[in-house]
Amino acid sequence: MSSPEDTLTLLGESRSAELCTLKSLNTSTRRYVDIILLAYRGKYNHSPSVVSYLSQFPSFSAKTKLLYILLLLIPKGFVATYSSLAKILSTHPRAVGALLARNPYPLIIPCHRVVRNDGSLGGYLSSQKYLHLKKKILTEEGVEIICNKVSSEKILTLNALLKLREKAARFLETSSCK
């Protein structure tokens, strides 16, 4: 797995991970490892460490940061649709898909929690090739998938996402993530 500073290797099963190799352990890499381990332990939702990590990347546009924070706020066991997120961000669903395809931290920023309007899975890691991983992660998070579709009761409504957007916007206003 690549980090912004170095290459690291993580081994583990299910919800535990162990750091096996780390070529250099500078401050940036240490923070990245901490966040990866939080993600593996299932504690990345609402984690200030994860969200503050985003602030280190000024190359992320305000829209991208807002999208990534929104994804962090989606509870495990639920998903959002590309089109609902697009409405919230005043953009097109394909633009949301493009931002998710470029997600540099799929283990941290849960882009797997975004599906198509009809509940079908869409893509994952900018490909159809890894769709089985998306399905496995969602299933482990408590999302039932039948015939490659998420049931409608697991898809957050636009109103629920608007509330999450308010929370994300408040965070952006009060943090160094601007």
Strands (E), the chain: 8-11, 18-22, 80-81, 114-115, 145-146, 149-150
Residue 90, SS3? coil
DSSP string, 71-84: HHHSPTT-BEEHHH
177 catalytic per annotation: no
Question: What residues contact residue 159 under an 8 Å CB cut-off, 6+ apart?
Answer: none
Conformation bin of residue 90: beta by default, left when phi > 0, alpha when psi is -120 to 50: left
Among candidate residues 20, 111, 147, 177, the one labeled active-site is: 111
Q: Check if the beta carbon of residue 51 is closer than 8 Å to that of residue 26.
A: no
Q: Residue count of the chain, please give it.
A: 178
Burial class, 158, CB count within 10 angstroms (exposed 0-12 / middle 13-18 / buried 19+): middle
Cα–Cα distance measured from residue 116 to residue 130, given in angstroms and rounded to the nearest whole number: 16
Catalytic residues: 111
